[in-house]
Amino acid sequence: MANQYGILKPYKIFGLPEMKKVQQFSLVLCLSLMGGASAQSVFEGPFVQGAIGYTNVGATFNQTSTLLNQVGVYPQNFSTDNLSVLTGNIGGGYNFRVDPKWLIGLSVDFMPLVSGSANSKVTTNLPGIAVSNSLTGSYQMKNPLNFSVIPSYELSRTQLLYGKIALSTAQLIYSDPATPATNVLVGGYTLGLGYKQALENQLYVFAEGLYTNFVDYTANINGPYVGIANTSITVKATGYTGLVGIGYRF
């Protein structure tokens, strides 16, 4: 029925009981949507993050050289100090929900800030010479890169506990006064454990600890050395890293 202005009243179209049902349904729908939005994890989806921290790397070098006349090979024994330096980390990835409490993430992170070097002493046992020849050099680690799978468990909507399993690469560079800089690309794996705490405006802070194991890698060096045809150097390294940082989820 229309009122004096010719406008139909809603309860005259649906009937009063039907109109109340429509209003109740609309209220339930709105509350459901609001509840679903509030329950959504702040960690699900794409993210970028950056961190600073400290890393400690222990490296071993085993080197052998072949004489020019090919009559023999002599070993060179290395003793190295641990490389303990400040480091920085930037990266990004995506977290996929696989369960009401579990996420699986894929990420790539890079450490452009690895400064400093550590001492390394090489002792050479030359054939026919009773006294060993010692030489002090140094080594550095550069450009660590990780490709990670990150299983995560939500302690709450704003708290996340996660593990990290990664394929890792880095450059180890050895040099001494008598040897050109030797750059060896090493690869291995990284295992880690971390925690994220959500803040406002889609920001979060995090802390993580990492263990990295670089498997044996061998590089061949061709001269120029007096009396030496070529040199083979095998590198192995392990490292421990602690990081704290901040991230943003899109």
Per-residue pLDDT tens over the stretch 122-139 = 666 655 554 456 667 777
- 5, part of any domain: no
- Mean pLDDT split into 10-residue runs, the chain, 250 residues: 52 52 53 46 91 86 60 64 85 95 96 70 59 67 91 95 95 74 84 95 95 77 53 78 95
CATH number where 173 lies: 2.40.160.20
Indicate if 195 and 98 belong to the same structural domain: yes
Query: E-strand spans in 16-158?
Result: 45-67, 73-80, 83-97, 102-114, 118-124, 133-156
Indicate if 159 and 182 belong to the same structural domain: yes
Indicate if 31 and 117 belong to the same structural domain: no
Indicate if 202 and 117 belong to the same structural domain: yes
Q: What are residue 156's phi and psi, to 5 degrees?
A: -160, -175
Indicate if 147 and 30 belong to the same structural domain: no
> In the block, which residue shows the tokens 């600890």?
209
Q: What is the tally of structural domains in the chain?
A: 2
Its pTM stands at 0.72
141: CB partners within 8 A, 6+ apart: 57, 59, 83, 85, 114, 170, 171, 172, 173, 237, 239
Query: Which residue segment(s) compose the domain that 25 sits in?
Result: 10-39
Q: With the CA atoms of 166, 212, 162 and 201 taken in that order, what torsion angle do they form, in degrees rounded to the nearest 10?
A: -90
